[in-house]
């Protein structure tokens, strides 16, 4: 896994974040199965419920480009320790990759590696009888 490349892409995406309210800029870089790296940054809105997190932005960009299989994600913030994805992002990522490697980093070079399964052990699941996906499917 080339975490350095993903952190670099996420750091550059973070610089483009639109965060006039929180001043909390976040960048993400999502690695797809074919080696494509999809960047994302947070985009705030004065109606906070409409904000888009960097991780979900990266997922949306990847899906719009035709990708459905993800191998890893790097997330860059300027907090110490580095911030992990929020609950909404964790839920979104589990839709595609239940055990995704997640690297969180900050601008000081601190890094922590996690597995999505550890960060989000009990994702929402539709009942199978309603045509839903199971945790492992």
**pLDDT one-digit tens code per residue, 78-133:** 999 999 999 999 999 999 999 999 999 999 999 999 999 999 999 988 766 666 66
Q: What is the pLDDT of the chain when averaged over all its residues?
A: 94
The strand order across the sheet containing 111-115 reads 37-41, 27-32, 70-77, 101-106, 111-115
3-130: in CATH 1.10.1740.10: no
User: First vs last Cα of the chain: how many Å apart?
Assistant: 24
Give pTM, 2 decimals: 0.91
Catalytic annotation, pick one of 44, 55, 69, 129: 55
Structure tokens at 62: 């990847």
Omega prior to 81 cis, within 30 of 0? yes
Is residue 55 among the annotated active site residues? yes
Q: What length does the chain have?
A: 137
Dump strand ranges (E) for 59-130. 70-77, 101-106, 111-115
pLDDT band at 13 (very low <50, low <70, confident <90, very high): very high
Question: Among 17-21, 32-36, 47-51, 130-134, which is the least confidently predicted range?
Answer: 130-134
């Amino acid at each position: 896994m080339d975490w350095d490349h993903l952190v670099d892409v996420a750091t550059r995406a973070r610089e483009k974040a639109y965060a006039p309210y929180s001043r909390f800029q976040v960048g993400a870089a999502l690695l797809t199965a074919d080696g494509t790296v999809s960047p994302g940054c947070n985009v705030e809105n004065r109606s906070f419920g409409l904000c888009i997190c960097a991780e979900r932005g990266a997922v949306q960009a990847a899906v719009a480009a035709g990708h459905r299989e993800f191998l890893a994600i790097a997330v860059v913030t300027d907090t110490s320790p580095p911030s992990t994805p929020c609950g909404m992002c964790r839920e979104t990522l589990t839709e595609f990759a239940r055990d995704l490697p997640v690297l969180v980093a900050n601008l000081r070079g601190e890094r922590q590696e996690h597995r999505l399964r550890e960060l989000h052990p009990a994702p929402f699941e539709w009942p199978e009888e309603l045509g839903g996906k199971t945790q492992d499917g």
